[in-house]
C-alpha cells in the first residue's frame, strides 16, 4: 500500500472550502452562518444557534490544556480530543488562522503525539477499546490534511498513513461471514459492530475524498457489513440479527449517504425510522452519540427530513446549554467522557448546516 497523502484534485476541493471558511473567520467575508437557505421553520433559529455554537467553542478553548488536550474525565483520550478539534472546524475555523487557529493546531499536535509504534492513535484513556479513539482520530487527521502548515502537514501525512494502514489491516482480520467488512474494539477483533464500523468507514471515506489511496473495496466491504445490520423496520442494529435502535440507525444513515446511497429506498426508510423514534426529551443513554449521527444523516437526506429533525434538536439543545457554554455530561457509557465530549458532539450536531468539514459536504 502506497503512502497516504492528498492529491492535487482533492486538495483543491479542500482548499476551496478552507479559503471560504478562513475568509469568514478573518473578517474577509460574511460570517459562516447556516450554509443552506433555511426554511421559514428553521430560519428563526439562525441567530440563536450561531450564539450557542460560539459560546460552546469559547468553553472548549478555555478548557484546553497546555499539552493540547481538552480537560475532562477523558482528557487523555485521543478520540475525545479529536472531536473537540473537529468542533472548531465545523464552524469554519481553521488551523493556524483566526481566533482559534492555535487551539486547533495544539489539538492536532496532541493527537499526533498519541500515536503508538503500531500506528494506533491512542492516549492512556480508552473507554471502549482502542479502535473507537483510533478511528475518530484518523477521521480528524484526514479532515485537517491540506489545511495545516507545511511542517505540520508532514507529520499529518506520516501519522495518517500509519493510522489508515492499521484500519485496513483490522478490517482484513479473518471474521465469520456476518462480520466481514466491519470493525470492533480491538485491531485484532474477529467480530464487528455498527458503531466502531461507522467511525472507521467515515475515516476511510474521508481519506479517499482527500486523495489517499484507500482501496475502494475497503469502503464497499464496510458498506456490506452496515447493510447486514438492517432490520425489517428500516432501522439498523448494533450487529447483524439484533434489534434496531436510534443511534445505530443514525450511524448507518450517515455512512450510507456518504458512501453514495443518497435518498435511495434504504436511506429514506432509515430517515423515516429516525423521525418516528427521535428523542422527545433531553438526555438518556447514548443521547449525544444519537444526536450527532442522526443530525448529520438527516442533513444529508435534506428536505423535510432535515427540517423536522432540526427543529426538535434545536429546541432541546438551546434549552439545556449551560451558562458556561457547555452541555451536561451524558449518562451511562457517555458519562465517563464528560463535558468536553458532550459539548463537542453537540456542536458537531448543531453546526451541520455551517461551512462544514469536507466529509460532511453534500
pLDDT digits (tens, 9 = 90+) for 87-115: 999 999 999 999 999 999 999 999 999 99
What confidence tens digit (pLDDT) does each residue in 75-90 have? 678 999 999 999 999 9
Domain spans of the chain, in order of start: 8-360
pLDDT surpasses 50 at 333? yes
Span 120-140, average pLDDT: 84
pLDDT recorded at residue 315: 94
- Residue 123 — pLDDT band, cuts 50, 70, 90? confident
* Listed range (168-182, 225-239, 282-296) with the worst mean pLDDT: 282-296
Q: Is there a contact between 141 and 156 (Cβ–Cβ < 8 Å)? A: yes
- Residue 337 — pLDDT band, cuts 50, 70, 90? confident
Span 273-299, average pLDDT: 93
pLDDT recorded at residue 285: 86
- Residue 359 — pLDDT band, cuts 50, 70, 90? low
pLDDT surpasses 90 at 214? yes
pLDDT recorded at residue 128: 65
Span 243-250, average pLDDT: 97
Three-class SS state of 236: strand
pLDDT surpasses 70 at 20? no
- Residue 180 — pLDDT band, cuts 50, 70, 90? very high
pLDDT recorded at residue 75: 63
CA 210 → CA 120, 145, 147, 162, 207, distances in Å? 21, 8, 11, 16, 5
Tell me the H-state helices in 302-361. Answer: 303-320, 338-350
Which residues, in sequence order, are bridge partners of residue 244? 237
- CA-wise closest residue to 351 among 304, 299, 283: 299
Span 109-122, average pLDDT: 95
Q: Is 113 exposed, middle or buried (0-12, 13-18, 19+ CB in 10 A)?
A: middle
- Give the count of beta carbons closer than 10 Å to the beta carbon of residue 208: 18
- CA-wise closest residue to 130 among 86, 189, 72: 189
Distance of CA 358 to the CA centre of its chain: 11
Span 4-25, average pLDDT: 33
Which residues 6+ apart lie within 8 Å of 279 measured at CB?
A: 246, 287, 290, 291, 312, 316
In angstroms, the CA 252 to CA 297 distance is 8
Which CATH code for domain 8-360?
A: 1.50.10.20
- Residue 66 — pLDDT band, cuts 50, 70, 90? very high
Query: What pTM did the predictor assign?
Result: 0.89
Residue with the bigger pLDDT between 289 and 20: it is 289
Span 163-188, average pLDDT: 97
* Listed range (15-19, 122-126, 195-199) with the worst mean pLDDT: 15-19
Span 136-144, average pLDDT: 97
Span 215-241, average pLDDT: 97
Span 34-48, average pLDDT: 78
Which residues 6+ apart lie within 8 Å of 190 measured at CB?
A: 173, 174, 175, 176, 179
- CA-wise closest residue to 203 among 130, 138, 257, 251: 138
Q: Is there a contact between 45 and 307 (Cβ–Cβ < 8 Å)? A: no
Three-class SS state of 212: coil
In angstroms, the CA 227 to CA 256 distance is 9
Span 118-146, average pLDDT: 87
pLDDT recorded at residue 36: 54
Q: Which three cell numbers stand for residue 29?
A: 467575508
Which residues 6+ apart lie within 8 Å of 265 measured at CB?
A: none
Amino acid at each position: 500500500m502506497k503512502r497516504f497523502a492528498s492529491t492535487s484534485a482533492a486538495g483543491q476541493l479542500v482548499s476551496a472550502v478552507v479559503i471560504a471558511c478562513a475568509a469568514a473567520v478573518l473578517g474577509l467575508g460574511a460570517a459562516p452562518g447556516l450554509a443552506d437557505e433555511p426554511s421559514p421553520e428553521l430560519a428563526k433559529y439562525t441567530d440563536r444557534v450561531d450564539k450557542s455554537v460560539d459560546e460552546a467553542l469559547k468553553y472548549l478553548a478555555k478548557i484546553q490544556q497546555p499539552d493540547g488536550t481538552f480537560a475532562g474525565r477523558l482528557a487523555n483520550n485521543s478520540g475525545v480530543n479529536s472531536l473537540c478539534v473537529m468542533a472548531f472546524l465545523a464552524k469554519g475555523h481553521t488551523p493556524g488562522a483566526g481566533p482559534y487557529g492555535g487551539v486547533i493546531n495544539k489539538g492536532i499536535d496532541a493527537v499526533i503525539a498519541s500515536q503508538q509504534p503500531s500506528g494506533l492513535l491512542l492516549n492512556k484513556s480508552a473507554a471502549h477499546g482502542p479502535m473507537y479513539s483510533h478511528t475518530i482520530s484518523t477521521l480528524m487527521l484526514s479532515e485537517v490534511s491540506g489545511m495545516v502548515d507545511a511542517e505540520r502537514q508532514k507529520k499529518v501525512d506520516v501519522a495518517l498513513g500509519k493510522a489508515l494502514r492499521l484500519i485496513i489491516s483490522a478490517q482484513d482480520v479473518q471474521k465469520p461471514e456476518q462480520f466481514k467488512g466491519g470493525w470492533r474494539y480491538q485491531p485484532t477483533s474477529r467480530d464487528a459492530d455498527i458503531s466502531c464500523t461507522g467511525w472507521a468507514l467515515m475515516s476511510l471515506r474521508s481519506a479517499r475524498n482527500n486523495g489517499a489511496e484507500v482501496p475502494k473495496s475497503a469502503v464497499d466491504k464496510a458498506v456490506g457489513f452496515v447493510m447486514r445490520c438492517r432490520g425489517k423496520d428500516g432501522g439498523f442494529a448494533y450487529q447483524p440479527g439484533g434489534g434496531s435502535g436510534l443511534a445505530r440507525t443514525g450511524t448507518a444513515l450517515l455512512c450510507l449517504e456518504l458512501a453514495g446511497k443518497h435518498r435511495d429506498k434504504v436511506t429514506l426508510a432509515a430517515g423515516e425510522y429516525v423521525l418516528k423514534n427521535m428523542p422527545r426529551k433531553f438526555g438518556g443513554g447514548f443521547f449525544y452519540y444519537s444526536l450527532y449521527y442522526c443530525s448529520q444523516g438527516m442533513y444529508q437526506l435534506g428536505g423535510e427530513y432535515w427540517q423536522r429533525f432540526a427543529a426538535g434538536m434545536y429546541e432541546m439543545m438551546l434549552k439545556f446549554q449551560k451558562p458556561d457554554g457547555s452541555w451536561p455530561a451524558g449518562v451511562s457509557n457517555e458519562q465517563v467522557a464528560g463535558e468536553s465530549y458532550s459539548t463537542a458532539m453537540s456542536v458537531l450536531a448543531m453546526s451541520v448546516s455551517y461551512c462544514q468539514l469536507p466529509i460532511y459536504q453534500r
